[in-house]
Structure 1
Amino acid sequence: MSGENPVVLRSVWPSIGFDLVTLRLLTAAAEESSFAGAAARENISLSAVSRRITDLEARLGIALFNRHDRGVTLTAAGEALIEHLRDVFVRFERMVLDMEGFRKGARGRVRVHTHMSAASSTFPTTLADFLNRHPAIELELEEHVSLDIVHAVRIGTADIGLISGRVPTKDLEVLPWHEDELIGVVPCDHPLAQRDSVTLADMAREPFIVIQRDSALINLYREQLRILGITFRDRIHAASSASICKMVSAGLGVAILPSSSVNAQDPSLRIAAITLDESWSSWPLAICYQNRENLSMAARLFVDFLLAQPPVQPAVNRFARSRLADESGAATS
C-alpha cells in the first residue's frame, strides 16, 4: 500500500559463517555417509572434516548428522540443508562454466526445438551466422509442433523452444520474437488465384492440405470454421510446409500457412499465395525456456542473438500470378 515502507530482508547467512569448503565437505560426508569417506574424496584430513562440520553445527545450533559406529546419516535439518546446497552448487558450476566461456570463447551444447514457421525463411541463414560466430557451440535442432515443444522445454529435454505465440505456456518464460502473417495458398490455376485477398470461408469450399493434427495452426482455423458453422475438410496431413506447398501445386487442395514458410519454397511451384483477410491472420512467434537464470551461457547467447535479428518481413508471394501472365502471353504470341 502507498505510504508504507517496503520490507527489507536482511542477509543472515554471513553471521553464521558459511564457507564453500565446509559446505563442500558437508555434501561429501552426506553422499559418502562417512566423514572418513568425505576426507578421502576431498583430499583433506579426517580431523579437519570433523572439526569444520562440528563448528558449523555449533554456529547453527542444530545437529546436521547422526553419528554412528559405521558412519553418519543426515538429520532432518541436514537433509533440508543438503537439498538447498544441490541448487547452490549447480549455480556455482554454471557460474564457473560461464566465466570459462568468457575466457576461452563460448562453448557448449544447446538443444533447440522449433516450430515449422520458425524453421522457415531466413532461419537457416540465422543459424549459420550464429555458428560461424560461435564455432565452439553445438546446436541440436529438432522440428516439432508447438504443444510438443512446450512439453519438451518444461520437462528439460529441450533448452529453448521456438513456438507459435498462440499456444499456452503455463510456467515457462516467453519472449515475443517475430510477427508473421497467415496467407492462403492455392494452385496457380485456381479461380481464387486471381484475387487480391481471400477469407477462410472462400477457401473452405476446397479440401485442405494441413500440417500435423495437433499443430497450433490447424487448431486455429478448425476453431474459426466451427464459429462459421462450416465443416472442416482436411484431405491430407503433411509433415512440413514444403510438402504442403508441393501438394497444393499438384492440385490436391488448398492451404493456410505463414507467409515466411511459403516464401521460402521453390519458386517453380505452381502456387499462388494470397492475402488472408481475417482478423486472426497475424501469426506471432515466440521463444520459450524454463528460466533464463538456469540457461547455460551458450543458450543465453543464442537467445540474445535471435532477439537481435531484424524481424522477418511478411510479404505475399505473387510469383504465380506473374508466371500465369507470362505463360498466357507466350501462348498467344
Structure 2
Amino acid sequence: MSVHLHSLVVDVSSRKLRYFVAVAEELHFSRAANRLYVTQQALSKQIRELEGDIGVRLLRRTTRSVELTPAGEALLTAARQSLAALDVGVEAARAADRGESGTVKLGFVIGAALELTSLIVAEFGRRHPGIRLDMREYGFADPSAGLADGSSDVALVRLPISAPDIESEPLFVEPLVAALPSGHRWAGRTSIPVAEMAGEPLVVGRTEDAAWRGQWTLDAHRGGDAARVVTLTSSHTEEMEVVAAGRACAVTVAGAARYTPHAGVRYVPLDGACGSTLAVAWRRGHLAAAVEWFLQVTREVGAAETAVVSSIERPFPSTHNQPL
C-alpha cells in the first residue's frame, strides 16, 4: 500500500495560527479582533480557512459563547510552541544581521581592569545578551593579551606594548609599588624614591616586548643604566614567590596589594615613578560591530564609575605598610 506524503503535510501560515491562538485565549471573537487590530469579519474568515486547511473543527461557536473542541485544545498547545520557536528564530536572524550574536574574545593581563572588570562585563551582557564574551588571561610572554596573534578581538592591557597595528584607549593610570621581601631593609617604609629602587636587583616578566619590560625595570628613571635583573618569570604569582623567597624585588601595580597579598611580600609605594596605564585595546582594521559595542560599554562604565576609578588611582590607605 502506498502513502501519498502530500496528504500528510499541511501548510499552515503563521498568521492563521496567531489568529487562532488569540481567539482560543480570549474565547471571544470581538475581543480577539481588537487585540489583533483586525475586523471581526477578517478574523472569522481566517479561522474558517484554518479549519479548512487542517480538516477539523477547532471551535464551537454560538451567539453566546466560543469553546475549543478537543482538536482545538490539541492545536493550541502546538501552535503556541511553534509560534514561540518562530519568534526566537526571527529575532536570532535579525540579531545576526545586526552583528548582535556570536562571540567576542576578550583577552586580559593579570588583574584585567581591576574593580571595573566585573562592572564592564555585566553591563555588556545586559546590553548585548546575544553575544558571548569569551574571557582569557595571558601571562607575561604576551603583553598584548592575544591581540598580536589574533587570538583576542579586544583586550585589557598595560601600556606600553610594542606589538604593531594595535590601537588603545586608556581607562586609568595606576600607581606603581615596590614588591619587597618581608625582611627587606625598606619593608617598613611608607614610600621609596624611584631613584633608590632603580638600583635594586629585580625580577621581571619573561617577554620579548622591550617597551613593556622597560616599564617594570624602571628604564625611564635609571638614566640609561642597565637594570639589575636577577631572574625572569612567566606570571605575577611566580614573580611574587621569587620576591617572597628573598631573591629579588619587583615593580608592580598598587592593586597587587589587594589582589595578590602574600605573607612574605610587602608592597610599598614608589615616589616619583610613572604610573601604569591600563587600557582597552584592539587590532587596527579589525573593529567589528561587537568590538565597538564593547569599547562603548567600557568607556561609559569607566566614566560613570568615577568613585571606583578614584580608588584605583589612590589605592593605599594609611596602613598600607602593615603585614598582609
The reply to whether TM is greater than 0.5 is yes
Aligned pair 1:223/2:219, yes or no? Answer: yes
Gapped regions of structure 2 (runs ≥ 5): 1-90
Shift in alpha-carbon separation, 1:286–1:149, aligned structure 2, 3 A: same
Q: Which amino acid aligns with 1:302?
A: F
Deviation at 1:177, TM superposition (A): 1.5
Shift in alpha-carbon separation, 1:249–1:151, aligned structure 2, 3 A: closer
Gapped regions of structure 1 (runs ≥ 5): 1-95, 325-333
Which aligned pairs between 1:282-321 and structure 2 lie closer than 5 A?
A: 282-290=275-283, 294-297=287-290, 299-307=291-299, 308-309=301-302, 310=305, 311=309, 312-316=312-316, 321=321
Aligned pair 1:237/2:232, yes or no? Answer: yes
On the 8 A contact 1:178/1:285 being kept in 2, the answer is yes
Q: Which amino acid aligns with 1:237?
A: L
Deviation at 1:256, TM superposition (A): 0.4
Match of 1:75 in 2: none
On the 8 A contact 2:189/2:268 being kept in 1, the answer is yes
Which aligned pairs between 1:96-111 and structure 2 lie closer than 5 A?
A: 99-100=94-95, 106-111=100-105
CA distance in 2, matches of 1:98, 1:187: 57
SS in 1 for 2:203: strand
Aligned pair 1:272/2:242, yes or no? Answer: no
Aligned pair 1:256/2:251, yes or no? Answer: yes
Residue deviations 1:242-265, cap 9 Å, x none? 222232223222110011234211
Shift in alpha-carbon separation, 1:251–1:135, aligned structure 2, 3 A: farther
On the 8 A contact 1:272/1:317 being kept in 2, the answer is no
Shift in alpha-carbon separation, 1:189–1:102, aligned structure 2, 3 A: farther
In the alignment, which of 183, 192, 196 is matched to residue 186 of structure 2?
A: 192
Q: Which amino acid aligns with 1:296?
A: A
The structure with the largest alpha-carbon Rg is: 2
Shift in alpha-carbon separation, 1:148–1:206, aligned structure 2, 3 A: closer
On the 8 A contact 2:189/2:321 being kept in 1, the answer is no
Aligned pair 1:281/2:274, yes or no? Answer: yes
CA distance in 2, matches of 1:234, 1:302: 38
Aligned alpha-carbon RMSD (Å) = 3.7
Q: Which amino acid aligns with 1:208?
A: L
Deviation at 1:225, TM superposition (A): 6.1
Structure whose residues are more often helix by fraction: 1
On the 8 A contact 1:245/1:269 being kept in 2, the answer is no
CA distance in 1, matches of 2:227, 2:166: 32
CA distance in 2, matches of 1:156, 1:139: 16
On the 8 A contact 1:195/1:274 being kept in 2, the answer is yes
On the 8 A contact 1:173/1:291 being kept in 2, the answer is yes
Deviation at 1:192, TM superposition (A): 0.6
CA distance in 2, matches of 1:276, 1:303: 31
On the 8 A contact 2:145/2:155 being kept in 1, the answer is no
Match of 2:51 in 1: none
Residue deviations 1:29-58, cap 9 Å, x none? xxxxxxxxxxxxxxxxxxxxxxxxxxxxxx
On the 8 A contact 1:270/1:320 being kept in 2, the answer is no
SS in 1 for 2:243: helix
Residue deviations 1:212-253, cap 9 Å, x none? 233544223353465163x42222222222222232223222
SS in 2 for 1:161: strand
Percent sequence identity over aligned pairs: 20
Deviation at 1:315, TM superposition (A): 1.5
Shift in alpha-carbon separation, 1:246–1:146, aligned structure 2, 3 A: closer
Q: Which amino acid aligns with 2:168?
A: V
Q: Which amino acid aligns with 1:119?
A: A
Shift in alpha-carbon separation, 1:145–1:281, aligned structure 2, 3 A: farther
Deviation at 1:179, TM superposition (A): 1.3
On the 8 A contact 1:272/1:321 being kept in 2, the answer is yes
Deviation at 1:168, TM superposition (A): 5.0
